[in-house]
Structure 1
Amino acid sequence: MMWVATRRRSLWRAAQAVGLGLGLAVLSACGGGGGGDAVNPPPEPVPEVKPTRAEAARFLTQATFGPTTAHIDAVVAQGYAAWLDAQLAKPASLSYVSYWDARNAALGGTTANPKAGQREVLDAFWTQAVSGDDQVRARVAYALSQIFVVSMLDSGVGNNSRGLASYADMLGAKGLGRYRDLLESVALHPVMGTYLTSLHNMKENTRTGRVPDENFAREVMQLFSIGLVQLNADGSVKTSGGSPVPTYTPSDISGLAKVFTGWSYACPVSDDSCFFNGVSRDSERDIDAMIKPMRSYPQFHSSSVKSFLGATVADQGSNADPAASLKVALDTLAGHPNVGPFLARQMIQRMVTSNPSPAYVGRVASAFAAGNGDMKALVRAVLLDTEARSSNGLTDPSFGKLREPVLRLSAFLRAFDAKSDSGSWLVGTTDSNTDGLSQTPFRAPSVFNFYRPGYVPSGGQLGLAGLLAPEMQITHESSVVGYVNYMSMALQFGVGQNGYDYKATRRDVQPDFLRDTTHALRTLAATDAEVPALVDQVATRLLPSPMPAALKDIIAPAVLSIAVPVANGKNQDQIESAKLNRVRTAVMLTLASPEYTVQK
C-alpha cells in the first residue's frame, strides 16, 4: 500500500497537532496542588440507563481489550453496572503457568530443562486478551503489570519465564481482591525478588560495612504504594511553604530495607544453602521455587530496630522474626492515606483518561477506602464514574488518553474476530520501532514502565497547557512509522509468526476479512456506490463514536482510487485482490487516524 509511505510524516504531525486529547491533574511526583486535606465527595456512579451501542463501545474500549459485537450487545441489554459486576465475578479464563507448562510439554521440555520461554508467556497474554471472556479481569491485570512492573528484558526475569507466568497469574488473581493482599503477593514473589534484588537480601554487618539492599524498599514506596509526595484525598499535592511535602526520607528507605532482609527461595528448610541457592543440603531444588512465595530465613533477617513512615519494629534481639516485621511494613504501607488517591489516579490513567479531575480521583479513592482497600470497588468507581461515562468527554480536549500500541492491536484483533490457526496466538515480541509496536507486554525497559504517569512531551502544546500524556513517551517519529508498518503487514498477511512447531503457510493470527473471501466488507468493496457503506462499517467496528465527515472525506477517495476491474470471465483473481485492497485501505487509514489512536 503505497499511501503508507507518503502519510508517515503527516500522521506524526496529526498526532502532535490533535494534542491527543490528553492531560492530567498532576501526579504525586510531578508537583501541583495545594495544602490541606480536600473534602472527599461520595462516589458518583453513572445513573443506570441503558446505553446506546456507541456508548457501550466506548465503555468497552475503557474496560476491555477492545469491543466486540457480542459484548456490545450484552452491555446494551444489561447496562453498565450489571455487565461489569458479571465480569468481576468471572474466574480467570486462563492460567499462564498451565498454558506455559502445556506448551513446554508439547515442545518436549521439562520444568527442570524447559524448551518453552518468554514467547509462551506472550502467547498466553494474547490468548487471554483477544479470546478470553474475563476481559475486565485481564484488562485490570494488564494495567497493574504497568504499576507493579517486572520485565523480561531483565535477564533474571527473562531466564525464569515460568516464574513470570506465575507473576501474571498472581496479578490476575489478586488484582480484584484486597490491595493489602496484592501488595504482599508482589513483595514475596520470587520474580519481583529477582527483579528488584530483595531475593536473598542479607541483614547489615557492622564488621564488613554491609547494609541491606534498598532497591525494593525504595520502589515499593515510590511506585507501588504511596509515591514521592504527600497527597490530599483528591490526589492533589500537599505543600508546605510552596513546596511539595515528601512522603518518605532516606532514613525511611533504610529502615524499610531491613524488613526485606532474610527472604529467599521457597525451600523445605531454612538453611544457608536454601537461602543462597534454593537447594538444601539434603534435597534437590524445588522445581516450583520461582513460582512459590519466598520464605523467611531468620538467620539472615535484621533483628535491629526498624523505623519507617512513623512505624517502628522493636529490636528483636536473637529472635529475628521476618514475618512479624513484614506484617508491620505492609500494614503501614497499605494503611497510608496516599494509597487511595495514588492508586486511583494511575488506574484511571491506565483505563480511562490521562486527565482525571481532582473530584474524579477523590471519588475513586473514596470508594477504595469505603471498601477497605477492595480493588473491585476501585475498578467499579473508575469505570462507572460520571466523568468516565459522560458524553462531555467526547468534546473536552483535556479528556481521554493516547491508546498505547498493545491496546491498539488487541482492539483491532477483537473488532475483526481474529482467530489463531494454531490455537496458540503466536503474536510474539513487538518491541521494534521500525516494524513493530515499540511495546511488548511484560518487556518494559525499566521498573518505571514503558512511560511514566507524569510524562509531558517537551516543546509541545500539551506542556504549555499543563497536560500530561504518558503514552507519548513511546510515541515519536520512529514508533509512529513502526506502528503503521506493522499494521500494514497485519492487514496484508495477518499477525505473528508462521509457527515454529507446526506446519503453516501463513501468519498465525488472521482477522475475519482475510479468512473469508465472502466477507461482508469485501462485498461492499465491489462497487463504487457501496464504498461509503464500507467506510461506515469499518468505522462501526473500530470507532466507538461516529466517524467525522472530514475523516470520511480522506478515506473514501483513497478507497475509490483502487479500481475494481470489470469482470470478463478471466480476471476474478484481480477482482478479488482489488476488493481486498479496498478493505485494507479503509481499515488502515482508520487505524492510523487520531480518532482511533486517541481513546475518548
Structure 2
Amino acid sequence: MILFAQHRLFALLLLTALLVACGGGEGTEGKAVADPDDGVLAGLLAAPVTEEQATRFLWKSAFGPTDESIALVRRLGYAGFVDRQLNLQTSQYSNYLMEPYGYPGRTELDGQCAQHGTESTRVCLEWIYEKQRAPSVIFFKSAVHDPDQLRLRVAFALSQILVVSMNLDYRTAYGMRSYQQMLRNMAFGNYRDVLMAITMHPYMGAWLDHAKNTRQAPNQNFARELLQLFSVGTYLLNQDGTYQLNARGELQETYTEAHVRDFSRALTGWTYPASFMGANLTQADDSHDTGSKTLLRGQILPANQSTTADLQGVIDNVFNHPNTGPYVCRQLIQFLVTSNPSPAYVARVVKVFNKNSSNARGDLKAVVRAILLDSEALNPPDAAGRLLEPAIASAGLVRAVGGASDGAYLDEMSFAQGQRPFAAPSVFNFYSFQYQLPVNGRRLQAPQFAIATLPAVTARLQYLDNLLSAGGAPADTSLPQGYRSGTQLSFPARWLQLAGTNVDALVDMLNVRLAGGVLTPASRNLIAAQVKALPGVSSQDQRGRVALAIFMVAATPHFMTHR
C-alpha cells in the first residue's frame, strides 16, 4: 500500500487551505475576554474539561497528547495539570556517547564504547565526533517519552531564543547536550540566571566568539546578540509588546553601536576552562578592559572593576531593562500558544514576569503558568493559533497514535522539513518570530510559516506515509547497538476494531486526538469516504484503514494549525 501516491492530490488540495488557515475563523470555544478578572477565567478553570479541550491543551503544554495525559488533564483540570508538570523532576537527555572531543584517557573511552554490545571502537568514535545529528536524536527520544513534557517544551522554546547551533562541524555533540540540558534544568528558573548561564557556557563562548575576548580587540558578536536577540530586542516596547513610537510615529532603537562597543568591552576577559566537563568559562583578567563603560539607560560601569563585576553589571542591566519582559514573554507565548497574542494577553504575562507573587522579577515558572492558564489560551479568540513546527508535529504525532521512538527517524523527518533541533542555520533561529502572512486583508504574525515551503510540506507527507505504511521505521544502524530501537506505531485495539466496524467513529476519534475536534464536516466526511473505500475485513486491512485515516487527518490544516 502506498498511501502517499494514492492520496497525494487530496493531501495537497487540503494544504492549499493551510496557507490561509493560520489566523482565520472563530475560536471553537468562543471569544477570549480581555480581562481575566471578570470571572470568565475562573469559570474556565473550574469547568469540567472535555476530551477535545484536553487534547488542544496538550498540544500547547506538551509534545502532543497521549491516552494517559488526556485522562490526567480531565481529572486534574488545567491548573492542576500545569502545576503537576511544573513540579516534576527534571529528566536528563540521554548521555549515550556524548563524550567531549579530546576526552582525556583513550583507554577509558574505549571501555565505554565496548559497553555498547558488538559496536567497534571505530563506529563508537565516529558517532561521538562526526554525527552532528546526535543531540537532535536524543531530543526526539525525550520529546516522545519523557514525563516532564512542559519543561521540555519551554526548554525547546528557549533554545530557539538563546540559539547555539550544531551547523558548524567543530562543535562537539557533548557540548551541545550540555548546553541544552542546562536550558532544560533552568526552564522554570529565573531569566536572569538563564542569561548568566548562557553567557558563561563554553559552547556559547565558541558559537559567538565570546571566549578569548580581549581588550586589545573586543569581539562584538556576543554583545550584539545579547542585546538584539537574548534580552531587550531592537526597538523599544510598551509593556503589552507593542512598539513605542516617537512624536513622528517612528520606531525607537533600544541600543546604539556605541552601546554594542561598550558591552563588548565589558565582556572581555573570559576564556575556556581547562576541562570542559561541566565547567564554565574562566577569568583571564589580564585580557579584561578596565576602562569605564556606558550601558543601556545611561548606566555607567566604573573604571577598574573586575572581570566578574563588569559581567554582573551587564547581565543586571539587560535583565532589568523594561523591554526584556515583553520581548521574552511574547516569544514564549508564540512558541506555546498562539502566533498572534493580543496586547492584553502579553501585558498580563509581562506583569507576572516583572513581579511574581513574591515580588521577584523574571520567574519563568510563574510566567509559563500565566501563559497557559490565561483566558486567551483556554478560550481562543479570532486569529489565535499557530502552525505546528516540524519538530513538534513529528514528535507529537507519534505520541498521539501510541508510538515509541529512539528519535532517529523523527530527526530525519523534521530535518527534511527544514528543522533539525539545535542545528539552526544561524543565531536568528530557523525562522523569525516576526514573520508575517497576509490573511483576510490583515498581516498576521506566523513565524513557523517561514519554513513551511511546498518542498518541506511534501517531505512531511512523504515521511509520514512511509512511517504509516510500514507501521513504523527500522532502527538506524548508525546508532550504537544498545540504543537503536527504531520507531513503532502500536495502534490501540479499539482503533483497529473501529476500522472494521465503524469508520465514522474512527475518524471522529482521530479528529479529536489529532485536530482537537475541529475538522469541518466536509473534511470529516471526505476522509471517512476515502477510508471506507479500502477493504476492512482482515486485521491487516484494519491497520491499513487506521493508517490512512491518520494520514489524511494529519494532512489537513486543522492538524497543522492548532488553536
Paired residue type of 2:41 = V
Q: Are the counterparts in 2 of residues 251 and 308 from structure 1 also a CA contact under 8 Å?
A: no
Report the equivalent of 2:279. Answer: 292
Paired residue type of 1:543 = A
Structure 2: distance between partners of 1:597 and 1:543: 8
Structure 1: distance between partners of 2:525 and 2:499: 17
Q: Are the counterparts in 1 of residues 137 and 411 from structure 2 also a CA contact under 8 Å?
A: no
Paired residue secondary structure (1:100): coil
> Does residue 330 of structure 1 match 2:315?
yes
Report the equivalent of 1:584. Answer: 547
Q: Are the counterparts in 2 of residues 118 and 161 from structure 1 also a CA contact under 8 Å?
A: yes
Report the equivalent of 1:60. Answer: 58
**TM-score, length basis structure 1:** 0.82
> Does residue 374 of structure 1 match 2:363?
yes
Paired residue secondary structure (1:444): coil
Paired residue type of 1:523 = Q
Report the equivalent of 1:306. Answer: 293
Structure 1 unmatched runs, 5+: 24-38, 205-210, 268-285, 566-574
Q: Are the counterparts in 2 of residues 8 and 480 from structure 1 also a CA contact under 8 Å?
A: no
Q: Are the counterparts in 2 of residues 225 and 334 from structure 1 also a CA contact under 8 Å?
A: yes
How do 1:120-135 and structure 2 match up within 5 A?
A: 120-135=134-149
Aligned length: 525
Report the equivalent of 1:187. Answer: 199
Paired residue type of 2:336 = M
Q: 1:359 aligns with which of 344, 347, 362?
A: 344
Shift of 1:11: 3.5
> Does residue 474 of structure 1 match 2:474?
no
Report the equivalent of 1:3. Answer: 6
Paired residue type of 2:64 = G
Structure 2: distance between partners of 1:451 and 1:496: 31
How do 1:516-535 and structure 2 match up within 5 A?
A: 519-527=493-501, 530-535=502-507
Report the equivalent of 2:102. Answer: none
Question: Which stretch shows the higher mean deviation, 13-22 or 52-61?
Answer: 13-22
Report the equivalent of 1:445. Answer: 425
Shift of 1:447: 0.8
> Does residue 512 of structure 1 match 2:486?
no
Paired residue type of 1:455 = Y
**TM-score, length basis structure 2:** 0.87
Which string of whole-angstrom CA distances, capped at 9 and with x for unpartnered residues, describes residues 336-394 of structure 1?
0011111110000000001111110000000111121100011011000111111x43x
> Does residue 258 of structure 1 match 2:238?
no
Q: Are the counterparts in 1 of residues 132 and 169 from structure 2 also a CA contact under 8 Å?
A: no
Give the direction of change, closer, same or farther, for the CA distance of 1:586–1:346 in structure 2 (3 Å limit).
Answer: same
Shift of 1:401: 0.6
Paired residue type of 2:364 = M
Which string of whole-angstrom CA distances, capped at 9 and with x for unpartnered residues, describes residues 526-564 of structure 1?
24xx11122122223222225331111110111122134
Which string of whole-angstrom CA distances, capped at 9 and with x for unpartnered residues, describes residues 166-198 of structure 1?
001110111211110000001111111111111
Structure 1: distance between partners of 2:15 and 2:520: 19
Structure 2: distance between partners of 1:264 and 1:45: 53
CA RMSD of aligned residues (A): 2.8
Paired residue secondary structure (1:127): helix
Which string of whole-angstrom CA distances, capped at 9 and with x for unpartnered residues, describes residues 45-81 of structure 1?
9313132222222111101111112112111111211
Which string of whole-angstrom CA distances, capped at 9 and with x for unpartnered residues, describes residues 65-119 of structure 1?
1111211211111121122112111121224547735986635669x96743434
> Does residue 155 of structure 1 match 2:169?
yes
Q: Are the counterparts in 1 of residues 242 and 343 from structure 2 also a CA contact under 8 Å?
A: yes
> Does residue 427 of structure 1 match 2:409?
yes
Give the direction of change, closer, same or farther, for the CA distance of 1:412–1:139 in structure 2 (3 Å limit).
Answer: same
Structure 2: distance between partners of 1:44 and 1:225: 34
Shift of 1:332: 0.5
Report the equivalent of 1:226. Answer: 232
Structure 1: distance between partners of 2:419 and 2:25: 20
Structure 2 unmatched runs, 5+: 27-33, 100-108
Report the equivalent of 1:383. Answer: 372
Paired residue secondary structure (1:467): strand
Paired residue secondary structure (2:436): coil
Paired residue type of 1:558 = Q
Q: Are the counterparts in 1 of residues 51 and 512 from structure 2 also a CA contact under 8 Å?
A: no
Give the direction of change, closer, same or farther, for the CA distance of 1:442–1:534 in structure 2 (3 Å limit).
Answer: same
Give the direction of change, closer, same or farther, for the CA distance of 1:109–1:351 in structure 2 (3 Å limit).
Answer: farther
Paired residue type of 1:171 = L
Which string of whole-angstrom CA distances, capped at 9 and with x for unpartnered residues, describes residues 240-268 of structure 1?
1210111000000000001221111113x
Shift of 1:470: 0.4
> Does residue 596 of structure 1 match 2:559?
yes
Report the equivalent of 2:106. Answer: none
Identity %: 33
Q: Are the counterparts in 1 of residues 127 and 478 from structure 2 also a CA contact under 8 Å?
A: no
Paired residue secondary structure (1:239): coil
Give the direction of change, closer, same or farther, for the CA distance of 1:42–1:149 in structure 2 (3 Å limit).
Answer: farther
How do 1:93-242 and structure 2 match up within 5 A?
A: 93-97=91-95, 100=98, 106=116, 115-116=127-128, 117-157=131-171, 160-204=172-216, 211-240=217-246, 241-242=248-249
Q: Are the counterparts in 2 of residues 437 and 483 from structure 1 also a CA contact under 8 Å?
A: yes
Which string of whole-angstrom CA distances, capped at 9 and with x for unpartnered residues, describes residues 120-154 of structure 1?
32232122211111111111101111100111112
Q: Are the counterparts in 1 of residues 164 and 207 from structure 2 also a CA contact under 8 Å?
A: yes
Which string of whole-angstrom CA distances, capped at 9 and with x for unpartnered residues, describes residues 460-498 of structure 1?
436x40211100100111111111111111112324644
Structure 1: distance between partners of 2:399 and 2:409: 14
Paired residue secondary structure (1:221): helix
Report the equivalent of 1:456. Answer: 436
Give the direction of change, closer, same or farther, for the CA distance of 1:313–1:42 in structure 2 (3 Å limit).
Answer: farther
Question: Which stretch shows the higher mean deviation, 324-333 or 67-76?
Answer: 67-76
Give the direction of change, closer, same or farther, for the CA distance of 1:261–1:80 in structure 2 (3 Å limit).
Answer: same
Q: 2:89 aligns with which of 91, 104, 119?
A: 91
Q: 1:71 aligns with which of 53, 69, 72?
A: 69
Paired residue secondary structure (2:443): coil
Structure 2: distance between partners of 1:99 and 1:177: 28
Paired residue type of 1:304 = G
Q: Are the counterparts in 2 of residues 263 and 296 from structure 1 also a CA contact under 8 Å?
A: yes
Question: Which stretch shows the higher mean deviation, 305-314 or 125-134?
Answer: 305-314
Q: Are the counterparts in 2 of residues 74 and 83 from structure 1 also a CA contact under 8 Å?
A: yes
Paired residue type of 2:294 = S
Which string of whole-angstrom CA distances, capped at 9 and with x for unpartnered residues, describes residues 488-518 of structure 1?
11112324644335779x97111112xx7xx
Paired residue type of 2:419 = Q
Structure 1: distance between partners of 2:376 and 2:193: 29
Q: Are the counterparts in 1 of residues 518 and 558 from structure 2 also a CA contact under 8 Å?
A: no
Give the direction of change, closer, same or farther, for the CA distance of 1:365–1:556 in structure 2 (3 Å limit).
Answer: same
